[in-house]
A and B are shown apart, each in its own frame.
Chain A
Amino acid sequence: MKHAVLFLACVAGFVRGEEAADTAPVPPEMVRVEGGKYLPMFGDRDQSRQVAPYLLDRRPVTNADYLEFVRGHPKWRRSRASRLFVAENYLGHWAGDLEPGPGAPADAPVVLVSWFAARAYLKACGKRLPTEDEWEFAARADATRADATGDPAFLARILTWYGKPNPPVLPAANTAEADFRGVAGMHGLVWEWVRDFNNQMVTGAARNDASLDRSLFCAGGAVNATDAANYAAFMRYAFRSSLEGNFTVTNLGFRGARDLAPPTTP
């Protein structure tokens, strides 16, 4: 509770978290995403899924946000974080434990953070990671449409970004293009963690499920896909499936989500 004061970026969420309900006001840094039916990239072709309404951060978590977090939570500082939960290069682009430095501008998205670290950050805010369905549902939107994925130009724009190498220093999170809801940077900024990032890998009891091969390698990648021409979505699913929970990657950040109902432990 003491940390919440220091933890400015989360204040609104944290304070209101306990009383959040379907009618509760939406914190200023978040938007309400009305749920709906959507057809995921992988899974049963004729089985669309229902996504319940949820709140989603307007932008990815920045270095400044994360700095506040590690100030209040020393065990997540670069030098102290357990190697069980973060890889060696955790916050590797920062100048020091409490110094983001020139490689990590305050308003740029924080990257090189693991899934565990992202989860800890969001828990401290009373938020959680969006699920893959929630993230993908919101990511279909552009500036005017809730679902622009039928527009080849929309997909081509995303694909162009995926095809470019990372810039040495990331731009500010709030400069990214926003969709009609005001959610910025879903495309064209950084990859983002989702709660169930390894969804595609663990489809059965065994981690080395046979569907892994069918899903994501070579031409087999098209077998289970609902839209084999949606290369942009392929890219994201392939990217996520290359990860493990303690991985830290130079262009992988995250943003928070929240249920409309009071948050549960993420």
Chain B
Amino acid sequence: MKATTPILSALTLAWLVPATLAQGGAPATAPSEAADAPLRGEEVAVLTDAPAVPPPITRDHPTRVKVELEVTEVVKRMADGVDYTFWTFGGSVPGKFIRVRQNDEVDFTLKNHPSSKMPHNIDLHAVTGPGGGAKATFTAPGHQTSFSFKAINPGLYIYHCATAPVGMHIANGMYGLILVEPKEGLPPVDKEFYVVQGDFYTTGKYGEPGLQGFDMEKALQEIPDYVVFNGSVGSMTGENALAASQGDTVRLFVGNGGPNLVSSFHVIGEIFDRVYYEGGTKVQENVQTTLIPAGGSAICEFKLETNGDFILVDHSIFRAFNKGALGILNASGDPDLAVFSGQKKDEVYLPEGGAVQAIPSDSKPAAAAATKEERIAAGKIVYGANCAACHMPNGVGVPAAFPPLAESDYLNEDVDRAIDVVLHGLQGEVTVNGDTFNSIMPQLGLNDEATANVLTYIYSEWDNKGVEVTSEQVAKVRAAKQ
């Protein structure tokens, strides 16, 4: 527990100098460092709960790091109205994020809370040695055990409980990540986040309320009810969304605790600029989806070139939309329209092309209507054949796409304009009953009589002003346009 004293550091630094020189010729920024480089000082590791990540390690030398994890068995929220008894490393799922530096020596203590029902232990994949520490940390309730290891290999590693039956301990949430930062450090970024996926097997189906028990049969069959990030549905949505700003560089430390499923990790709307796949040293660039095995990890880096919500999913996509594997990274800021414009238009798709189209006219002369009633009756048929698909049989239209004809101010304020629209079509922005529409209506190719009939029908319906449109009026508008 003794904190590093400045005096101690200074002494050990002075003592290290000859050793550093002896290695010879190493660049000052990244001095080569032997695996047996002497430890200097000691410190207590900063541990964080997801999605927080401990600060980057700025030391240029290995040290002795103390890590203490407490195992507790706690009832917590799995989803709204759904609770589960999680077994945890540090009180939540995933367990605490541990960050050490390559060549550090870690003094690890595992405490099993007296209220625990089970013995527990920890297998850190970052450990070189039998059992990864499992055997050395097998701990009865109300006891604590400790062991030391040297962090030889840099990388991002899962740790988990390995007490038999190991599947149940992992299925109850006993996993987390330990980062062994390479001695030269990781490139600086603006934001780092901690995300771990896990699958859960409950006695009740997804969403069934109440305290849910572990269902061993489902676990054996590998059919989870929940697949979630950071231990619960909605752990990173709404007010819990990961927060960043436009222009930030982001690093996600992603693990998969399993116990069973392999994750197809993807962020909707982003491309990973760099992925340290499998949590190792090699980098793949420009990755859409990276596979994260159960008991494995990946480090995903990307720049938020524009603002908005970016959705973290397991792209085995039913898990995202039906089992909870979904989180949100919100980038505040102004949109970079060159990168992403947002929706510019939603237009009717016309296979013939984008301009106003003419629907072929049937040249058969229609019998002239003798009365307004005959005109309305004939117009109703024309409406059904030509108009109802978009403006709807009851004239209400489709919000944001097709304007209403019922009680329509645009229709009622100008009969000649209405005739013109039916004859020639309409393209561009119009405001109808206070709503703006920006679509294309094709030329319908109706003759004067049919045009007069359909408009008379429309004006007679749906609380419109009831005027009769004659074929002479239509002819006049047609002539005026030509």
Binding site for B on A (CB under 8 A): 89, 152, 155-156, 159-160, 162-166, 168, 191, 212-213, 215-219, 221-222, 229, 231, 234-235, 237-239, 241-244, 247-252
Contact of A250 among B131, B141, B214 (CB under 8 A): B141
The verdict on B290 contacting chain A, using a C-beta distance below 8 Å, is no
What would 20 A/B residue contacts be, using CB atoms closer than 8 Å? A152-B217, A162-B118, A163-B172, A164-B117, A165-B75, A166-B117, A191-B117, A216-B138, A217-B121, A217-B123, A217-B135, A218-B164, A218-B166, A229-B216, A229-B220, A231-B165, A238-B119, A250-B115, A250-B141, A251-B141
The answer, among B74, B130, B143, B216, for a CB contact under 8 Å with A159, is B216
Contacts of B85 in A (CB 8 A): 163-165
Residues in B neighbouring A162, C-beta threshold 8 A = 117-118
Chain A residues lying within 8 Å of B220, measured Cβ to Cβ, are: 229
B13, chain A: closest CB distance, angstroms = 40
Q: How far is the CB of A168 from chain B (nearest CB, A)?
A: 8
CA distance A14 to B111 in the complex (A): 41
Given A163-B117, A218-B134, 18 other A-B contacts at CB below 8 A? A156-B216, A160-B213, A163-B168, A163-B213, A164-B85, A165-B85, A217-B138, A217-B162, A217-B164, A221-B165, A238-B118, A238-B165, A241-B119, A242-B119, A243-B140, A249-B141, A250-B114, A251-B141
Q: Which residues of B contact A237 (CB under 8 A)?
A: 164
Q: How far, in whole Å, are A156 and B123 apart by their CA atoms in the complex? A: 27
CA distance A252 to B119 in the complex (A): 12
Give complex CA distance A156, B216 in Å.
7
How far does the Cβ of A86 sit from chain B's closest Cβ, in whole Å?
13
Q: Does B103 contact A (CB under 8 A)?
A: no
A237 vs B121: C-alpha distance in the bound complex, in angstroms?
A: 15
User: Which of A156, A159, A238, A252 is the one whose CB lies under 8 Å from B164?
Assistant: A238
In the complex the two chains form, is A217's CB within 8 Å of B131's CB? yes
The interface residues of chain B lying within 8 Å CB-to-CB of A166 are 115-117
Distance A164 CA – B141 CA, assembled complex (angstroms): 14
A212 to B117, CA, bound (A): 21
A residues within 8 A CB of B163? 216-217, 238, 242
Q: Smallest CB–CB gap between B362 and chain A, Å?
A: 72
CB neighbours (8 Å) of A160 from chain B are 213-214
Does the CB pair B162–A218 fall under 8 Å?
yes
Q: Which of B84-108 contact A (CB under 8 A)?
A: 85
A235, B115: Cβ atoms closer than 8 Å = no
Q: Identify the interface centre among B114, B121, B215: most chain A CB within 10 Å of its CB.
A: B114
Which residues of A are found within 8 Å of B117, using beta-carbon distances? 162-166, 191, 251
A249 touches B164 (CB 8 A): no
CB distance from B166 to the nearest CB of A (A): 5
List chain B residues, Cβ under 8 A from A242. 119, 138-140, 143, 163
A contact residues around B143 at 8 Å (CB): 242, 247
